[in-house]
Amino acid sequence: MSASFHRPIFDKVSLHQDIAKVLVDEVSLRQRVRELGEIINREYAHKDLLLVSVLKGSIIFMADLIRAITIPHEIDFMATSSYGTGVSSSGVVRILKDLNTSIEGRNVIIVEDIIDSGHTLNYLARILQERQPASLRIMTLLDKPERREVDIHVDWVGFSIPNEFVVGYGLDYNEIYRNLPYIGVLKPSVYGAPE
């Protein structure tokens, strides 16, 4: 990432000007996260529950989700890196930050921001399953089924979306736009694609 990339971004008055359209608004996000929290409350009452957030994109979703959960639970974090360009992944995954605790015998939910090709999540699910949790399920805020290259079962999806480049509510482009309170489609001109 070069300094020339950052100068124009920091000169902007508002990040909203780079958004072609809002795909999921703030109200819809809040409502769906509450619904997902209620599902967890019902299905995991009286169970040893650990939520694993996949950094960095899922951090805002995770923060809102745990506030919607009223039963006892713990949280932990993993961070991964996929080699590839800024807008696509090569499918080669490495773990940058692993869990701080054992998951053996525990009920684990992987909390993801978005699933497109499925490579990263498939890799994480395999790694975590080898650690012998009592159960392992997947919750994602966004799903791009058109982009799937790996067959992976997702237990709960917040929203299925078309194959568009989205940012906001934790999702970024070159570490920018995470703070937008909605899910928006980034203008192709921002990441060098033709309009």
CB 48 within 8 A of CB 107: yes
Domain ranges of the chain: 27-163
Among all residues, which ones are annotated catalytic? 116
Q: Could you tell me the CA-to-CA distances from 175 to 5, 37, 101, 167, 192 in Å, in that order?
A: 11, 27, 28, 10, 16
> Residue 6: left if φ>0, alpha if ψ -120 to 50, beta else—which one?
alpha
pLDDT by residue for the chain (195 residues), tens digit each? 444 444 455 566 689 999 999 999 999 999 999 999 999 999 999 999 999 999 999 999 999 999 999 999 999 999 988 755 555 555 677 888 999 999 999 999 999 999 998 998 999 999 999 999 999 999 999 999 999 999 999 999 999 999 999 999 999 998 999 999 999 999 998 888 766
CB 120 within 8 A of CB 93: yes
Half-sphere exposure of 62 (CA within 13 A, CB side): 25
Cα 52 to the center of its chain, rounded Å: 11
Q: By C-alpha distance, which of 105, 141, 142, 111 is closest to 125?
A: 111
The CATH number for 27-163, chosen from 3.40.50.300, 3.40.50.11030, 3.30.360.10, 3.40.50.2020, is 3.40.50.2020
